[in-house]
């Protein structure tokens, strides 16, 4: 079946099977490199995207369900090829090491700050609870989110 959706502001059309996940379509059919396969079962957050501005694990989302919707990846936060202020805070605070978890972390942070512009450390840790990072120990990520919030 053909589906159409807005991917980071661009209308895309793609032929999918009813059982294809959004993750598979984004990576295998549309060639995205910022959406990552980690666990494939909703436990790591590496595949996180926003669908109509709501956080979704793309590994658990059927591609067909985003027909006519808006899908935002971390690349969609750039403006004129410039990192967003939140992304810059991740860089400044060394919140990305291998970077595998980073797109998902940034999207979770964006969703949190859109809802709660001044979160406590506990609220940031709670928001990030569904995203695993093997490298940073989380402290630089929380610092990045806090400094983006202050800004």
What are the residues binding ligand FES (CB under 6 A)?
37-40, 42-47, 57, 59, 96-102, 133-136
Contact criterion met (CB below 8 Å) for 71 and 62: no
Measured torsion, CA atoms of residues 66, 82, 102, 30, in degrees rounded to the nearest 10: 40
CB-count burial class (<10 Å; 0-12, 13-18, 19+) for 151? exposed
In this complex, which beta carbon is closest to ligand FES, that of residue 13 or of residue 127? 127
In this complex, which beta carbon is closest to ligand FES, that of residue 4 or of residue 134? 134
In this complex, which beta carbon is closest to ligand FES, that of residue 119 or of residue 140? 140
Minimum Å distance from CB 137 to ligand FES?
9
Alpha carbons 26 and 7: distance in angstroms, whole number? 9
In this complex, which beta carbon is closest to ligand FES, that of residue 12 or of residue 135? 135
In this complex, which beta carbon is closest to ligand FES, that of residue 22 or of residue 113? 22
DSSP 46: T
Minimum Å distance from CB 127 to ligand FES?
15
Minimum Å distance from CB 56 to ligand FES?
9
Alpha helices in 6-101 (DSSP H): 22-24, 85-92
Minimum Å distance from CB 80 to ligand FES?
26
CB-count burial class (<10 Å; 0-12, 13-18, 19+) for 122? exposed
Minimum Å distance from CB 146 to ligand FES?
18
Token pair 């369900």: residue: 65
């Amino acid at each position: 079946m053909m589906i159409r959706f807005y991917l980071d502001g661009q209308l895309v059309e793609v032929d999918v099977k009813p059982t294809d996940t959004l993750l598979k379509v984004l990576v295998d059919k549309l060639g995205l490199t910022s959406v990552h396969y980690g666990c494939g079962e909703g436990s790591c957050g590496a595949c996180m995207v926003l669908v109509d501005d709501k956080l979704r694990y793309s590994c658990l989302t059927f591609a067909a369900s985003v027909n006519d919707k808006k899908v935002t990846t971390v690349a969609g936060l750039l403006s004129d090829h410039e990192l967003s202020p939140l992304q810059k805070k991740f860089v400044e605070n060394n919140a990305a090491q291998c970077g595998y978890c980073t797109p998902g972390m940034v999207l979770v942070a964006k969703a949190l700050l859109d809802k709660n512009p001044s979160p406590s450390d506990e609220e940031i840790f709670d928001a990030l609870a569904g995203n695993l990072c093997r490298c940073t120990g989380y402290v630089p990520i929380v610092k990045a989110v806090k400094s983006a919030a202050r800004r």
